[in-house]
Structure 1
Amino acid sequence: MNNLNENVAHLSWCALVALHINNTQSPSQNAAQEDLFLLRWLIQAQRQKRFSREVADSLNDMITFSRQLSRTIRIKRHLLTLWNEYSRLNTEKFCRSECQADI
C-alpha cells in the first residue's frame, strides 16, 4: 500500500463525511444534488489546497471526471469505490501480517 493510495482514500473519506453531514442538515437531497455538492466540495478542496501535493493530480482527475460524466456516473459511488477498495486492501494486509505473527 503506497502513500498515494492512502491519501486518495483519505480524500474520498473526507468528501463522503462532508456529504453525510450535509445530508443530515438537508435530508431531502437526490442523487443529482449530492453530485453537485460533491463536485463543489472537490473544487473548493482543490482551491484551498486542503490535501497534500501527492493528491493534486488525483483530485484534478476526480473533478474532470465528475464534470464530464456526472449524468451517467455518480460521484458518490466513485468515492465509495475508492474508499472501499483501500479499506479492503488494508484489511487484507492486516490479516496477512496477523496470520504470519500467529505462525
Structure 2
Amino acid sequence: MPTAVPPSQSLTDLAHLAWCGLVALKLARNEGQASSPLMTHYFLNRWLATAQKQRRFPKTVTLDITALLDLARRKGPAANLEQRLDYLWQSCSEPLKEQSDLFRLTYVIEQLRAQGWINAVVSDAEWETKALREEYQGTDALLVRKSQLQAQFSQEGKLVGEVVFLVTGDQNPAEALFCSNGLAFTLASTEDGWYQAILKPEINSAD
C-alpha cells in the first residue's frame, strides 16, 4: 500500500496550488489579460485544466483541482474561482489554531485517516442500527450523523451545538488529536464497548 501523506503536507500542497493560481492571474492582468470577471473565469478555468492535464501539482491536490473544474463547468463565472483560490490560500496558510472549528475537525479526521482510521458520515436511520456497529466492529473508526454536521456548524464553520461521534477501536489517537487541535469534547464508553465523543462549542467567558 502507498505511504499515506501527512495532512500537514496536503495543506501545504493545497496552499501552493492556490498561490500559483493567484500569481498566474496577477501576471496575466499585468499583461492586460483577465481584465473582467468573465475573462478571469476563463483564464483560471484554462489554467486549472492545463495544470490537471500536465500534472503540475502533487497527487494530494488532484481531487481539489477536479472539484474546482467541475464547479466551473456547472456554475460558470458564478463559481468565483478567484475568490475560492484566495480562500484556499488564506485558510491553508494561517496557523491551525486560528482556523474555524470545522476546519480543525476536518484536519483531525484527515490525520486519523493518515493513520489508517475509517471516517463515515451516516444517516439518522443508520445511526442506531445493529448493522452499523457490526460493519465497523474491530476497526478504528469515527462515525457521525450527517444531519448533525449540517445543523451544528454555521456557514463560517463555527460549532454552535454538540456533535456526537461514535468511536470504535483504540480511542486514544482520536482523543489526543481532538485535544491537541483545541476541540473541546467529552469521551464516554458505551455498553457494547464503543465510545461516544461529544464535541462541544467553546464557552465564551464573557457570556
TM over 0.5, shorter chain: yes
The structural deviation recorded for 1:46 is 0.5
Q: Name the structure 1 match of 2:40.
A: 34
The structural deviation recorded for 1:90 is 5.5
Q: Name the structure 1 match of 2:9.
A: 3
> Which stretch shows the higher mean deviation, 35-44 or 66-75?
66-75
- Could you tell me how far apart the structure 1 residues matched to 2:16 and 2:97 are? 15
Q: Name the structure 1 match of 2:30.
A: 24
Cα distance change on mapping 1:72 and 1:28 into 2, 3 Å: closer
Larger CA Rg, structure 1 vs 2? 2
Gaps of 5+ in 2: 1-6, 100-207
Report runs of 4+ in structure 1 exceeding 6 Å deviation. Answer: none
> Which stretch shows the higher mean deviation, 82-91 or 44-53?
82-91
Q: Name the structure 1 match of 2:81.
A: 75
Gaps of 5+ in 1: 94-103
The structural deviation recorded for 1:71 is 3.1
1:56 aligns with 2:62: yes
> Counting helix residues as a fraction of each chain, which structure ranks higher?
1
> Counting strand residues as a fraction of each chain, which structure ranks higher?
2
Q: TM-score, structure 2 length as denominator? A: 0.42
The alignment covers a number of residue pairs equal to 93
Query: Do 2:37 and 2:77's aligned partners in 1 also have CA atoms closer than 8 Å?
Result: no
Q: Name the structure 2 match of 1:89.
A: 95
Greater relative CO, 1 or 2 (CA 8 Å, sep 6+): 1
